[in-house]
Amino acid sequence: MNRIRSWRFAVLSAVAVAALLSGCATPASEEGMTAAVAPVAMQAIPQELRGQVAVKDVIGGKETNPLWASNVGSEGFRNALTASLKKSGLAGSDQASRYIVAASIQNVAQPLMGFNMTVTMTVDYQLIERSTNMVAWKQTITRPYTATVGEAFIGSERLRVANEGAARTNIATFIELLARTGPGTK
């Protein structure tokens, strides 16, 4: 009888510790997803694009259920993309910019659990010329980010950090590719 009680206590203790370590899921933050673009990439931005890009739409994100897992929401990603464009010098007025960006989050591949959690994010970007409503440039970007136990001990927080990192590196790559291969580049 004591063995059964000991076994039940051990199982219940393990479940309680797992629940404590998992925590509640929080969405990827805008600040955590905002990219800091390398100065070299910023210098490569053609004059034609400087201050001429605004974000139109972001679709495909998922809202976070606090009882399940952290996700990347469309509105949060849109705000992080807008802030990243501002930091890079690309952002223009929502109404007067020459180009608008439409981004579609295609996939956010997340692990169920793990010590190091790698999230891989795929986003389709389209740069649309406002005056003609024609696609001037498009690119699909897939980027991973691995969050370690050192970055966040609790699993749900580690997943959020991995989501933010995948979004941040995806946005940074978008801006760098746009600067090198977008309209107005030679």
- CA dist., res. 8 & res. 104, Å (int): 48
Average pLDDT over residues 100-107: 96
Within a 10 A sphere around the Cβ of 48, how many other Cβ atoms? 12
Whole-number pLDDT of residue 34? 87
Least confident of 125-129, 153-157, 165-169: 153-157
| Domain residue spans of the chain | 24-181
Whole-number pLDDT of residue 16? 39
pTM: 0.81
Strands 134-147, 99-109: pairing kind? unpaired
- Could you give the strand order of the β-sheet that contains 134-147, starting from the edge strand earlier in sequence? 53-59, 99-109, 117-129, 134-147
User: Best-predicted range by mean pLDDT among 18-27, 90-99, 149-158, 171-180?
Assistant: 171-180
Domain 24-181 grouped into CATH 3.40.50.10610: yes
